[in-house]
Amino acid sequence: MEIYLVGGAVRDRLLGLPPGDRDWVVVGSTPEAMLSAGFRAVGRDFPVFLHPDTGEEHALARTERKSARGHRGFVVDAAPTVTLEEDLGRRDFSINAIAERPDGSLVDPHGGQADIEARVLRHVGPAFSEDPLRVLRAARFMARFAALGFTVADETSALMRGMVAGGELADLVPERVWQELVRALRSPRPSAFLRTLRDCGALAVVLPEVDALYGVPQRAEYHPEVDTGVHVELVCDMAATLAPGDDAIGFAALVHDLGKALTPDNELPKHIQHEQRGVRPVRELCARLRVPAAHRDLAVVACREHLNVHRLAELRDSTVHDLLARCDGFRRPERTTQLATVCEADKRGRTGLQDQPYPQAAELVRLRDAAAAVTGADIAHLELEGPAFGEALRKARVAAIGHARTLRRDPD
């Protein structure tokens, strides 16, 4: 039995990145031998085991043979005769096909170290085209590594275009698409995920509502970047900067302007009522990808309300209250903070405006806190019930919002 450190742990060390989870490949063993050594089996589709002490994943070296369409259509061979080089040869990218021996030396049959130095994402071999999920993985790795200067190798881009043209991505299941999207939104540069998919034609397949935004013009005085698709890229990157690793905020940023793709041509470059038009495609996208309810609800709120938050200072006290109530801000205070962050990302996600202040974010949260400080106990003395009680509570909270605004304007 020989054990090697493989994959992301080796890659990230060579890139000088903080270490993450460590994965190991075991050569020359069998499932029975692993169990006898105290490992615990966890793999469903291929033999993966957890170390009895560290809990780290150890997978038997394996090869894969395509047997059907889709990312699950493979026959796995994990016999003890499978070599380390054969196992590395089935991996997706050269930078992930490097193994480290116990003495620290590297096994690198596919030039992964050279590609790391050149900052190139390159597929290992022709078997790459057998798994459509790898197109999304390429885009997701670009979301993580574009900030380090990585680009996709020309031959890999060509292979991805061929996979899309051949209809391979039609076999992707919604859960896997969502999983890759979430990981991209947690990354430093989600725009690279969108651009990589769009360059090979995959964005129109997996996120057609987002792809439809490219080429849609906006008013240059508000959006110097003009193209709505480019704006969404900037907003996603700004969201990743304001809320690193928060995929709920990132998803809401991604879909907040879907309604602009539905603007009639005779109204362009204005987008009247695009917030209302966008709710339906947001819900349809969420249903198709089986997006979790919390992500969906924030996305719908951000789509519907982002212009109201932008003009917060112009709203009446009662309108501010009703905005907070529509967003469920009194029961879910975190929703208000999330919405404020998405709106800030929208406002600052514009060419040349990334450093503009956005006081509406803090003000929205401050007014919510002022209103929420008023509870039912504060009006209990009125001895009201039912709708009358609710209306009295609303009036008291509206008054609290007005008082908070007065204090901001005239602190003395």
What are the tens digits of pLDDT across the range 97-155? 999 999 999 999 999 999 999 999 999 998 899 899 999 999 999 999 999 999 999 99
Mean pLDDT for 180-196 is: 98
**Gap between the terminal Cα atoms of the chain:** 77
Cα–Cα distance list, 320 to 305, 331, 336 (Å) = 11, 16, 12
Q: How far apart are CA 155 and CA 134, in angstroms?
A: 14
Give the 3-state secondary structure of residue 392: helix
The pair phi, psi for residue 376, each rounded to 5°, is: -60, -30
Q: How far apart are CA 17 and CA 21, in angstroms?
A: 12
pLDDT surpassing 70 at residue 69:
no
> Amino acid identity of 302?
A
- At 171, the pLDDT band (50, 70, 90 cuts) reads confident
Give the 3-state secondary structure of residue 291: coil
- At 385, the pLDDT band (50, 70, 90 cuts) reads confident
pLDDT at 379: 82
For the entire predicted model, the pTM comes to 0.91
Q: How far apart are CA 327 and CA 364, in angstroms?
A: 12
pLDDT surpassing 90 at residue 340:
yes
Q: How far apart are CA 157 and CA 163, in angstroms?
A: 10
Nearest to 23 by CA among 50, 5, 1: 5
The pair phi, psi for residue 316, each rounded to 5°, is: -65, 160
pLDDT surpassing 90 at residue 73:
no
pLDDT surpassing 70 at residue 248:
yes
Give the 3-state secondary structure of residue 130: helix
- In the numeric block, the tokens 């975190």 are attached to 334
pLDDT at 77: 82
Domains of the chain: which residue ranges?
1-111
pLDDT at 191: 98
CB of 119 closer than 8 Å to CB of 150: yes
Q: How far apart are CA 281 and CA 287, in angstroms?
A: 10
Half-sphere exposure of 290 (CA within 13 A, CB side): 7
pLDDT at 412: 55
Predicted confidence (pLDDT) per residue in 2-32, tens digit: 999 998 999 999 999 988 889 999 999 999 9
Mean pLDDT for 382-387 is: 82
Handedness of CA 269, 272, 276, 280 (dihedral sign): negative
Mean pLDDT for 184-194 is: 98
The CATH superfamily assigned to 1-111 is Beta Polymerase, domain 2 (3.30.460.10)
198-212, 333-347, 367-381: which has the minimum mean pLDDT? 367-381
Q: How far apart are CA 49 and CA 11, in angstroms?
A: 22
Element (H, E) at 267: none
- At 68, the pLDDT band (50, 70, 90 cuts) reads low
- Average pLDDT in the chain: 93
pLDDT at 72: 53
pLDDT at 329: 94
- At 204, the pLDDT band (50, 70, 90 cuts) reads very high
DSSP line for 337-370? HHHHHHHHHHHH-STT-TT---HHHHHHHHHHHH
Element (H, E) at 201: none
pLDDT surpassing 90 at residue 285:
yes
- At 378, the pLDDT band (50, 70, 90 cuts) reads confident
Mean pLDDT for 282-292 is: 98
Q: How far apart are CA 141 and CA 173, in angstroms?
A: 20
165-174 burial, b at 16+ Cβ within 10 Å, e below that, comes to eeebbeebee
Q: What is the dihedral of CA 206, 209, 214, 219, to 10 degrees?
A: -160
Q: How far apart are CA 145 and CA 135, in angstroms?
A: 15
Mean pLDDT for 254-278 is: 97
pLDDT at 44: 72
Q: How far apart are CA 16 and CA 120, in angstroms?
A: 16
